Structure 1
Amino acid sequence: MKAKRADKIATGILYVVSGFIVLILVALLGYILIRGVPYITPEFLTQPSKSYQTGGGIGVQLFNSLFLLLVTLIISVPISLGAGIYMAEYAKKNRLTAIIRSAIEILSSLPSVVVGLFGFLIFVIQMGYGFSILSGALALTFFNLPILTRNIEESLKAIHYTQREAGLALGLSRYETVTKIIVPEALPGILTGIIISAGRIFGEAAALIYTAGQSAPALDFSNWNPLSVSSPISIFRQAETLAVHIWKINTEGTMPDGAAVSAGASAVLIIVVLIFNFGARFIGNRLYKKMTSA
């Protein structure tokens, strides 16, 4: 009887703690969305910002955030996929792999502002890329690489060993077994991790303040020259992202309707991150059902 009573009490405490955490999250998200959603209009999402005037939008910053996200994923996903496959399928348990795992753990625990300062010293100054999308994407690659690599590694390790044995028994090489059986089987988990990482990248600000810059030059969407600073596809131009724009509005205070713009931009940021997270679960579940016929 005492054991059952203690179990019920412990279970009740866990439910209370979990509910309290959920309430905090709902209250936080609700407060941001209730304040910001009324300001979200098509003009707000497409017009450029106005530093010293009212009526500005977040069009350029929103585009910069999405474009920077795309460039970062193009750089980081292949590296993370290769590292995850090596760690899960080929790496042996020795001192080298222990050092690699320790390096991954250390990198994943670094504050984003430290990654930003590293990117500023290496990419902005030493390599001469300046404040640019390329500098920001490379800094975010270092920021995102450890977590994405670990996610891919765990997704591959979750595949039962019998799948590997079946591939080898059919005469497939180890490489063919990994690429044709293991990776496709782990694809839902890998894709879920990539999309969740995308949401984390999209909301990052500290690392980009020191690398991508704090200004958003006007873009000419008819100019597709990748070397032009006014071209939307140039990776060598400064690019103030949505998260950096929110920080800038609340620190400089030069915008007359800064509170409204900040509230609307924060709501857009939250909505996009929620879309990434719920989209990851939806796509992952659909892929899993399709591939397993569940």
Structure 2
Amino acid sequence: MSAKKMDKLATGVLWFAALFILGLLIWFLVYILGRGLHYLNLEFFIGPDGIGAQLFNSFYILFLSLLFSLPIGIGAGIYLAEYAPQNKLTDLIRLSVECLASVPSIVFGLFGMIIFVNVLGLGYTIVGGAATLALLNLPILVRVTEDSLRGVPASYREASLALGATMWQTIRKVVLPTAFPGILTGITLVAGRALGETAILIFTAGMNVSRYLFDTNPMAAGETLAVHLYAVKANPLPGTNADAIADGTAALLIIVVLIFNLVLSLPSRLMERRLNSKNE
């Protein structure tokens, strides 16, 4: 087979794979939203069996987990990319981070239950779930931050240092703004993963909600949308339409994740385009 035919064959295979994935995603969205979208009304949120508290808990736990993990994860990524020497210790740290990033979430859930629920005596609380989610997010944030910073051309650093800037000034005013779109993409990934996380929160935040709709007490139980979806399907309560609640919850969870990803990813795309236009 000639090189030209091989090129056309490879292009066709790649186009087929891309269209297949796109079609699968569209079918998945249409199926989930078609089953549950018509259940989303005011009663579904604030009624006796409403999920307003679970929706609030989802964002509250996400906010606290990012509050815990972002400073440590981004700080560790900056250290590994800009300050850490190339030796066996830093190689071991990077290997450990890679291993932690591949650990199943249920293992983190069991660890969080042992440490936060039992040893520290917090019980099933929002703060325990958020802290465990932060541990899940840390390895990904460290790797994404380090890779984004290493992707910044060395000439940027050299030009800044040549003008008399200190190392920290160079990182803060030159390197970080350039790498920020990539870091924001990593934050989007971990945030979307946290919104759909179930195993960790079952073991740490519990499967109950406060009797107050918007309870900001971090020591309260914190059932989220994903956990509620699991609970409804696994143990449906007598006298309730479990299928309707599950379908509506699944549709709402899909919508929340899509909107959240769009809100975070659009600024990243715009910033990346501006940086590319300035470089050109």
TM-score, normalised relative to structure 2: 0.94
2:149: which partner in 1? 156
Alignment of 1:60-209 (within 5 A): 60-209=53-202
Letter of the aligned partner of 1:188 in structure 2? Answer: P
Aligned pairs, how many? 277
Match of 2:265 among 278, 281, 284: 281
Letter of the aligned partner of 2:244 in structure 1? Answer: A
Which sections of structure 2, spanning at least 5 residues, go unmatched? Answer: none
Alignment identity in percent? 45
Give distance in 2, aligned partners of 1:101 and 1:237.
36
1:192, CA displacement in angstroms?
2.5
1:4: which partner in 2? 4
Match of 1:270 among 232, 254, 270: 254
1:185-226 deviation digits (Å, cap 9, x = unpaired): 2222222321232111111111100000011121165xxxxx
Letter of the aligned partner of 2:40 in structure 1? Answer: I
The structure that is helix-richer by fraction is 2
What is the root-mean-square deviation of aligned Cα atoms in Å? 1.6
- Structure 1 residue matching 2:204: 3-state secondary structure: coil
1:220-244 deviation digits (Å, cap 9, x = unpaired): 65xxxxxxxxxx2211111101100
Give distance in 2, aligned partners of 1:289 and 1:26.
27
1:2-46 deviation digits (Å, cap 9, x = unpaired): 12112211221222122222221211121001111111113323x
Give distance in 2, aligned partners of 1:95 and 1:193.
26
Alignment of 1:237-248 (within 5 A): 237-248=220-231
Match of 1:236 among 213, 219, 224: 219
Q: Is the 8 Å Cα contact of residues 209 and 220 (structure 2) preserved in structure 1? A: no
- Structure 2 residue matching 1:210: 3-state secondary structure: helix
2:245: which partner in 1? 261
Give distance in 1, aligned partners of 2:18 and 2:271.
29
Q: Is the 8 Å Cα contact of residues 229 and 246 (structure 2) preserved in structure 1? A: yes
